[in-house]
Structure 1
Amino acid sequence: MTVGESSTLEGVAVEVRILGPVEPALPPKPAQILAVLAVECGRVVPVERMIDLIWGEDPPPQARKSLQVHISCLRRSGLPVEHRASGYVLAADPLRVDLHVFRALVAEAGESGDPAVRSDRLGQALKLWRGAPPVHGQTLDVQRLAAIEGWVDAELALGRHAEVLDPLSSFVVEYPLAERLRGQLMTALARSGRRADAMRVFRDTRRTLVDELGVEPGADLQELYRVVLDGAGDARRNYLPRDAGDFTGRAQELQRVLGSEGGAVWWIEGPAGVGKSALAVHAAHLLADRYPDGQLFVDLHSPSGALDALLRAMDVPSERIPESHEERAALWRAQISARRLVIVLDGVTSVSQVRSLLPGSPGCLTLITSRSRLCGLEGVRRLPLDVLPSAEAVTLLARILGDDRVSAEPDAAAEVARLCGYLPLAVRITGARLAGRAHWPVSKLARRLADERSRLDELVADDLAVRSSLELTYGALDEQSRHAYRMVGFLGLPELPSHLWVPLLDEDVLDRLVDARLLDVTGSARYRMHELVRLHARELAEREDAAPDRLDFVRRAVLASLSTVDGLTEQLFLTVPRMQDPVGLVPTAPPADRDAWFAREEQLLTRTVERAAELGLAELASQLAEALVFAWFGLRNRYEAWERTHTAALDAVRRTGDLRLEAVLRCSLGQMHYKRDNLVQAQEWFDAAQTLFVALGDRRGEAVALNGTGMVGRDLGRYDRALDALCRARDLLTSLADTEGAAHALYGIGSVQRELGMDTHSVESLLLAEDAYRRSRSRRGEALAARGIGLVHRARGELDDAASHCERAHEMVAGTGDQLLACYTAQAWAKVLLRQGSLDRAEPLLDVALDGCREVGDRFGVALVRRTVGEFRLAAGDFAGARVMLCAALDEWTSLGLSLWRARTLRDLGAVHACRGDVAGADRCWDEAALLFAQLGTRESGEVPQWATRWSLAVT
């Protein structure tokens, strides 16, 4: 078992207690019987043995009958006592019985080489004892004594000599003849500097043993007496602070330190509050037995007199301590040259501060804690600390506060740890605050911590405070570094990648903040600031820097992001085009791998928009939000980030009263909902945008909103409204010479005409769209128009023409890198191949299309391809497989509210039923499909009579 490992028994609920008065409470004899069964929990206790244990050598004549009566009493109490052929058994998990939990904890302690774990497990085990057990008293008493002795050994190994004195003295009173226990008391007294008291314990022990047993103390105790008499057992040189009884985690770091040989020097570095001193002190306590000449501790936050303090700790008289630093260093090394010491130098700010304090002998181990990074000290081992893992932070909170309150509100406890940034100091402060407020639920503090403005105020308990801890580090910075620290905090971003800091900050300054552990380096040229550090820095910025200066820094950061993103935008096939034109951007070199860059930076860019919006930089926020749609969100269906950025920007824009920007953002949110297949919501956003554009007299904006309305109407089967909106949009955009916008409208018109069976008009509109897209150099639009023309030919049964257009569309899309559009062109081409009987060529296209739509979460695309796969399996004679895929598609169309596609899928399901000979099933599907087609007025309504004939012939 490693340091910091949790017990496998944590959370076990003890239900039967026999280490003291029996619980649950029972009459005397049933209680005694329960105790006997509990000792052997899960194992059968023979009747004869039970009678012997309960009544002894003189049982009553009706002992068996009495036993049965008492067993009935146990069962009426709800205890799972069962009869077996040879006796009775308590049929329960042994770990529901305190005795077995005790034994399991003792076993865990025995398996661990870490005294902290042994102390914890044995301490838990001993707390289970509430008095004398009703059975097996002598045997169990021996087990308890062994556990007590083991616990004291662990406490002494941890250096808790003074802390163990009171409980150890009480145990000695309980076990006056236990020599080993008395020897442990002598050791604890001697190591606490109370040698006379230790010798008195020996004399008392000798008197007791002679009076009670007529024997002298054993050899071990007599040898210990001689050691104490000579003064060798006196550990007055233990100057360590008290070890944290709730120390949690850091298993790997502890193992490295504990496994190192004498002469090692460790530089434990990390930011304020991360637990550097706690780790060093804990390790020093654990190492006390290996370094018997002393454990020294010097606080170098106040560096003056460090050598003086160390020399005094080594019993050097004041008159022998030289005045000069060099002479003191020489005397220090001479004093410890033959000693085995563990030395903790805490709060070091620079290498020069400790160079003269380091021992020159191999017998000493030195632990240095510092917020600064190690630089220029040879032969020193670096041990960097970061915040705790989330689970360990919650465990620390539980150990401070008590498992019951944490287990009662596990989600709130996890949230408190998260809001503390998993920083040990912050978690310890919250635990202390809650421990002192027993009436507070954990969730109350979680709610108070949620407010960033007051979080640092909440993280104060007695002499502990996150803010004051950070002030020490901040105060040691030069003014340039302080200003950079404040600005980074005010910017409010969790990380600073190179595209942000290069135009804003000097790298040398950032490195000084890294050296001070106020920033961390993550990856190449990327900096990160801990959440609580950021709050402190922002607090200082708002107090010390003028508002225009703070705002200008954020503005420049947003512009830096916008410059990078703007260089990565593409001409997407979206109903809503870019409607803002950022000016004054400085061109930047694009990242080598655009997809990897956006995947890494998406959250940061989203937060940049939100921060700009929070600070009232509405225009910049909306420009960056729109650019992100055309560089990443719209290309990869990143809907959540799309919605977050636009909602934040819209809130900021509405506060400024800029109606045009509000309409632009509403249009983009309509496009987002349209792509997500939230058609009703999309229509609401487009309608609101159109109203604003009309009021503003913005004809292009009105036309863009009409295009959106028309595409939504097409998908909802509202064809009259769709055609009206799309034709109005076409006319407006043509008059404005907006070729690409007019192409969007023409494409929508052609697709509506196709659904209505107006094939000639449809092809004409789509050809015009294709030409307009070509003139506006929209390769995506051109490909989609070609696909649309192919769909008309396919619907007419002109499969060669359909294949030509669909294949051409697919090849054009391949050159754009648009994976989602490629899924749609692949599906269209595959369906033509399917109709031509080329199943082997269609299948790989459908596989790629289905995977691609799933990958980006395109629900419409998934349903569309599933329906086509269902048609493929139907054509291949796999009727069961066809039914599975078509039913899955049908469920999706129902969820999306798309009646036309539901009708088409019902028609295909009817065909599956017909091929399986299920005439009733086919009729049910076809009747509903025919009704839907008739209501929609689509081309399929005229094809209904052909279905039965077509599929009946297919069966024969």
Structure 2
Amino acid sequence: MEVRILGPVEPSVPPKPAQILAVLAVECGKIVPVERLIDLIWGEEPPPQARKSLQVHISSLRRAGLPVEHRAAGYVLNSEPEEVDLHVFRRLVAQAGDETDLKVKAEALGQALRLWRGTPVVFAQTLDVQRLAAAEMWVDAELALGRHAELVERLGAFVSEYPLAERLRGQLMTALARAGRRADAMRVFRETRKVLVDELGVEPGEQLQQLYRDVLEGARDSRRNYLPRDAGDFTGRDGELGRLLDSDGGVWWIEGPAGVGKSALAVHAAHRLADRYPDGQLFVDLHSPSGALDALLRAMDVPSERIPESAEERAALWRATVGGRRVVIVLDGVTSVSQVRPLLPGSPGCLTLITSRSRLSSLEGVRRIPLDVLSGDEAVTLLKRILGDDRVADEPDQAREVARLCGYLPLAVRITGARLAGRAHWPVSKLVRRLSDERSRLDELVADDLAVRAGLELTYRALDENVRSAYRIFGFLGLPEVPSFLWAHLLDEDVLDQLVDARLLDVIGSARYRMHELVRLHARELAEAEDPQQEREDLVRRAVVAALSTVDGLTEQLFLAVPRMQDSLGIVASAARPTDKDAWFAREESLLVKLVERAAELDLAEMACQLAEVLVFAWFGLRNRYEAWERTHRAALEAVWRTGDLRLEAVLRCSLGQMHYKRDNLADARSWFDTAKTLFVNLGDKRGEAVAMNGIGMVCRDVGDYPCALEALGRARELLESHDPEGVGHALYGIGSIKRELGDDEAAFDTLAHAESVYREARSRRGEALAARGIGLVHRARGELDLAEEHIERAHEMVAGTGDELLGCYTAQAWAKVLLRKGLLDPAEELIHTALNGCRDVGDRFGEALVRRTLGEWRLAAGDHPGARVALTEVLTSFHDLGLPLWRARTLRDLGAVHACTGDVAGADRCWDEAAGIFARLGTREVGEVRHWHAQWGLAIS
């Protein structure tokens, strides 16, 4: 069924359904989220029953025979684009943009414009800008064909609809003048000036004023200044402008992506240099290349009858005409060197400024000025110059956010400034909210005849199809950068280089590509409109596989709460390992997180889960990258919920339990592990149940619930015994550490020795080190300091070979306590500070508190009682906040010793009484030590 929205909606339906149909037609074939539909139809204050009303209106559309379908995320109009007049309009305009035959171009544009029957009911401003641009293109083509008189009536109608469009009024003046109606052309100028002054408080632009002088005088002005009006709010580019102003002529190639301000820089510089080039300041728009030499020769007063037909003869005449003169020429919108060669003057006294989205190549003697986006401060300054200082000063943070959301692209900043300037009642924060939605951001970046999308479309349509495809692929990936380990699996390097030459991509470092945020949004739009959904999803799958093949080669078994679920996810490493793992992950972390989120957005739940899990064991768990860990797993979990895979949900819940355990959020960790265990039990997954039980056991151990811990770890060991030696090692280590805390030293030695043996058989150096440290802690608790040092020093050396800096902090702390008890304060202090800095670097709260307690003990041993009291009091608060009663009790015991040493008997008793109560409740080995404390510190309190 044909749908028409360029005017009253057809087929005819009631007003609200008509608006909904129009929105769906604009996004034809794409899902429009429910929230966006509500926002577009009812605005910022929708009725309470908006969702219900939307469903009712959708039903009425279906009853009218319209193919509106419900999808998980929203609604879609399941029609072909050719069945919607807007998409036919856009196709015809795009075809016209690629057409070189003026008659064919004019016919296509005329056909496109005839599709309009009135004002659209939605996106009226955005669509009207597209119609105005098409109208101006059509008039250009008709004028070039010499149809001056025939244009006047239609142009007059357009001017009535767009009274503030200066270019359209200039085209009407041109048509009237060429049709011999000079008086009418001058009347149009006077009317234009009145409208602009009355409505906007500004005079007509320089081009329109120059056109008026031409008509009035019937001849060219002697100074031949045909430059567009200079931007009064020109901002930034100090270095580039300085180079141009200091130049002595020649040819300059100003290159950069669409909207970066190339033309603004060239025109601004040309105006500043006008006095140095008194024989003419010329401007040629090479976006429409036909007749460029003709236009230049006419601008230099060459009569029409003297202008030859052939391009070669025109180029020779052009060089002869400007020979010996001082002229500045702006050649705007150059797409190739071949366009430029015939237009370059031979006179050394001329200055030629070329603007292009293409990179300079094979043009001799040309100096290059590459432009990038503005700095953050420059973008805000530009916004201030458009809006005024007061308005930006009232909302400085929002102004900076607007600049950021615009990607610091001058055109985008100028558009947002113009929109806000025209809406004095809008706070800047309102535009921030509107720009924050990626899906509609390009729709917001439209003001009058300015639009970011239009400039990008022009560049895109000039590309070969294989390059367009690469552009869409890059955009749909949704990644800020694409390094070689990804693009090598997806794209051809030569094609990427063509995108670089078109200034749609930037090269960052070696074989790494980056796309500007607004460019990426445009490319994603096109991918979603032009590429089949299956192809898009396959693209993201290939990207995830490429990441997995690299990252999985970097994984290591960690000693978190639970072991990795690798076997059940079926991940296989195939790519070479980066030589510097830390540097590689530091560079690629944000990209890998975004890739997980992108896969999750597309409901590629298993792929998102695989990559998220691998990253834990390759990077997040090693370096305590908690924010990235949580982001990836929550994104994957949401995708899993949508797809209903309970087993993957259990895996992710276990991993989030690990994360909270590592972050010392023990209550949260227990909750995640409990839910995971229930899911695994219901699924009959013994391995998964064991993993969850291991986690529960470690949480229970830390909070002092030793019976629960032993039961959980015993169950985990039982389930893992036959097929997972590392998992068994984890369970044994946990059980052995609990036996130590309970004072069952023989059982602790046996269990930890067994764990060490299991780890060794599994070739886990980390596990061996962990178990050896545990054995050393038992000897230390028994006062067997030489044996303790032997085991702990060996553990420390083993850890050094694994690169696990955090575990190295724990072995260093354990060794420092042995040295402290031996009276070796200096080497102990060095180890303490090494461990403290390491724990702080990775944000390990428990580790930091543990080492700070050891520092308090060192100060007590060194006789620094005030320092010891301060340190231990602070640590007491940390252990309370972490919910660790055993460690709080041990710190109270030490703090009591400090009070004893300073003669504060009441303070000592108060600390020791509380500590004794906790030890008794937990049943730990310290229960037997309580009666010795007064005797141990007797001299101090007698």
TM-score range, shorter chain: 0.7 to 0.9
Amino acid at match of 1:321: I
SS at match of 1:343: strand
Give CA deviations for 1:892-914 in whole Å, capped at 9, x if unaligned.
21221212111111211222222
Q: Is the 8 A contact 1:867 1:886 kept in 2?
A: yes
Tell me how far 1:235 sits from its aligned partner: 5.6
Residue among 810, 813, 833 paired with 1:827: 813
Residue among 752, 762, 771 paired with 1:785: 771
1:622 aligns with 2:609: yes
1:856 aligns with 2:838: no
1:632 aligns with 2:647: no
Give CA deviations for 1:720-740 in whole Å, capped at 9, x if unaligned.
211111111112222x33221
Distance 2:463 2:657 in 1: 50
Structure 2: stretches of 5+ with no match in the other structure: 1-188, 194-208
Q: Is the 8 A contact 1:746 1:766 kept in 2?
A: yes
**Bigger Rg, which one:** 1
Q: Is the 8 A contact 1:192 1:235 kept in 2?
A: no
Distance 1:250 1:493 in 2: 29
Residue among 724, 736, 740 paired with 1:754: 740
Go from structure 1 to structure 2 and tell me whether the alpha carbon gap of 1:625 and 1:192 turns closer, same or farther (over 3 Å shift): closer
Residue among 893, 898, 905 paired with 1:907: 893
2:645 alignment partner in structure 1 = 658
Tell me how far 1:933 sits from its aligned partner: 2.0
Alignment of 1:763-842 (within 5 A): 763-842=749-828
Percent identity between the aligned chains? 77
1:399 alignment partner in structure 2 = 385
2:275 alignment partner in structure 1 = 289
SS at match of 1:567: helix
2:80 alignment partner in structure 1 = none
Residue among 251, 258, 267 paired with 2:245: 258
Q: Is the 8 A contact 2:228 2:267 kept in 1?
A: yes
1:542 aligns with 2:521: no
Distance 1:402 1:841 in 2: 63
Q: Is the 8 A contact 1:390 1:422 kept in 2?
A: yes
1:499 alignment partner in structure 2 = 485
Alignment of 1:555-634 (within 5 A): 555-581=541-567, 582-583=569-570, 585=572, 587-634=574-621
Residue among 461, 475, 487 paired with 1:475: 461
Distance 1:341 1:907 in 2: 89
Tell me how far 1:629 sits from its aligned partner: 0.7
Distance 1:515 1:939 in 2: 72
Distance 2:370 2:549 in 1: 36
Q: Is the 8 A contact 1:664 1:701 kept in 2?
A: yes
Give CA deviations for 1:880-901 in whole Å, capped at 9, x if unaligned.
3223322332222122121211
Amino acid at match of 1:563: S
Tell me how far 1:356 sits from its aligned partner: 2.0
Tell me how far 1:796 sits from its aligned partner: 1.0
Q: Is the 8 A contact 2:749 2:775 kept in 1?
A: yes
Q: Is the 8 A contact 2:892 2:914 kept in 1?
A: yes
Go from structure 1 to structure 2 and tell me whether the alpha carbon gap of 1:548 and 1:948 turns closer, same or farther (over 3 Å shift): same
SS at match of 1:816: coil
Distance 2:241 2:935 in 1: 80
Give CA deviations for 1:477-507 in whole Å, capped at 9, x if unaligned.
0010011111111111111100000011111
Tell me how far 1:415 sits from its aligned partner: 1.8
1:670 alignment partner in structure 2 = 657
Give CA deviations for 1:72-95 in whole Å, capped at 9, x if unaligned.
xxxxxxxxxxxxxxxxxxxxxxxx
C-alpha RMSD over aligned residues: 2.6
Go from structure 1 to structure 2 and tell me whether the alpha carbon gap of 1:290 and 1:921 turns closer, same or farther (over 3 Å shift): farther
Distance 2:671 2:571 in 1: 34
1:241 aligns with 2:232: no
Distance 1:256 1:745 in 2: 70
2:712 alignment partner in structure 1 = 725
Give CA deviations for 1:410-453 in whole Å, capped at 9, x if unaligned.
22222222111111111111111122222222212211111111
SS at match of 1:635: coil
Give CA deviations for 1:92-119 in whole Å, capped at 9, x if unaligned.
xxxxxxxxxxxxxxxxxxxxxxxxxxxx
Give CA deviations for 1:214-234 in whole Å, capped at 9, x if unaligned.
xxxxxxxxxxxxxxxxx9x97
SS at match of 2:621: helix
Distance 1:884 1:586 in 2: 50
Go from structure 1 to structure 2 and tell me whether the alpha carbon gap of 1:308 and 1:791 turns closer, same or farther (over 3 Å shift): same
Q: Is the 8 A contact 1:915 1:952 kept in 2?
A: no
1:446 aligns with 2:432: yes
Tell me how far 1:920 sits from its aligned partner: 3.0
Tell me how far 1:954 sits from its aligned partner: 6.8
Distance 2:328 2:572 in 1: 59
Amino acid at match of 2:737: S
Distance 1:435 1:278 in 2: 20
Q: Is the 8 A contact 2:210 2:226 kept in 1?
A: no
Go from structure 1 to structure 2 and tell me whether the alpha carbon gap of 1:405 and 1:299 turns closer, same or farther (over 3 Å shift): same
2:675 alignment partner in structure 1 = 688
Distance 1:500 1:756 in 2: 52
Alignment of 1:82-101 (within 5 A): none
Q: Is the 8 A contact 2:889 2:918 kept in 1?
A: yes
SS at match of 2:425: coil
Tell me how far 1:640 sits from its aligned partner: 0.6
Distance 2:246 2:866 in 1: 64
Distance 1:364 1:936 in 2: 91
Residue among 530, 533, 546 paired with 2:516: 530
Q: Is the 8 A contact 2:334 2:355 kept in 1?
A: yes
Q: Is the 8 A contact 2:553 2:573 kept in 1?
A: no
Distance 1:912 1:293 in 2: 91
Alignment of 1:3-22 (within 5 A): none
Q: Is the 8 A contact 1:753 1:759 kept in 2?
A: yes
Tell me how far 1:584 sits from its aligned partner: 7.7
SS at match of 2:252: strand
Tell me how far 1:472 sits from its aligned partner: 0.5
Distance 2:837 2:704 in 1: 28
Worse overlay, 668-677 or 832-841: 832-841
2:361 alignment partner in structure 1 = 375
Distance 2:524 2:304 in 1: 48
Tell me how far 1:842 sits from its aligned partner: 1.4
2:26 alignment partner in structure 1 = none
Amino acid at match of 2:717: R
Tell me how far 1:464 sits from its aligned partner: 0.9
1:517 alignment partner in structure 2 = 503
Q: Is the 8 A contact 2:287 2:334 kept in 1?
A: yes
TM-score (norm 2): 0.76
Amino acid at match of 1:385: L
Residue among 349, 354, 358 paired with 2:344: 358
Go from structure 1 to structure 2 and tell me whether the alpha carbon gap of 1:432 and 1:235 turns closer, same or farther (over 3 Å shift): farther
1:434 alignment partner in structure 2 = 420
Amino acid at match of 2:685: D
Distance 2:519 2:229 in 1: 28
Tell me how far 1:792 sits from its aligned partner: 0.9
Residue among 873, 877, 880 paired with 2:859: 873
Distance 1:781 1:253 in 2: 59
Go from structure 1 to structure 2 and tell me whether the alpha carbon gap of 1:678 and 1:826 turns closer, same or farther (over 3 Å shift): same
Structure 1: stretches of 5+ with no match in the other structure: 1-161, 167-189, 199-230
Give CA deviations for 1:548-599 in whole Å, capped at 9, x if unaligned.
1111111111100011001111122233222144558571122121111100
Distance 2:246 2:907 in 1: 75
Distance 1:617 1:375 in 2: 43
Worse overlay, 385-394 or 489-498: 385-394
1:271 aligns with 2:257: yes
Q: Is the 8 A contact 1:336 1:359 kept in 2?
A: yes
Q: Is the 8 A contact 2:653 2:672 kept in 1?
A: yes
Distance 2:438 2:529 in 1: 16
1:145 alignment partner in structure 2 = none
1:646 alignment partner in structure 2 = 633
Residue among 684, 694, 715 paired with 1:697: 684
Q: Is the 8 A contact 2:552 2:571 kept in 1?
A: no
Go from structure 1 to structure 2 and tell me whether the alpha carbon gap of 1:583 and 1:704 turns closer, same or farther (over 3 Å shift): closer
Give CA deviations for 1:235-287 in whole Å, capped at 9, x if unaligned.
63111111111111112211222222x22321111111111111111111112
1:419 alignment partner in structure 2 = 405
Worse overlay, 898-907 or 659-668: 898-907
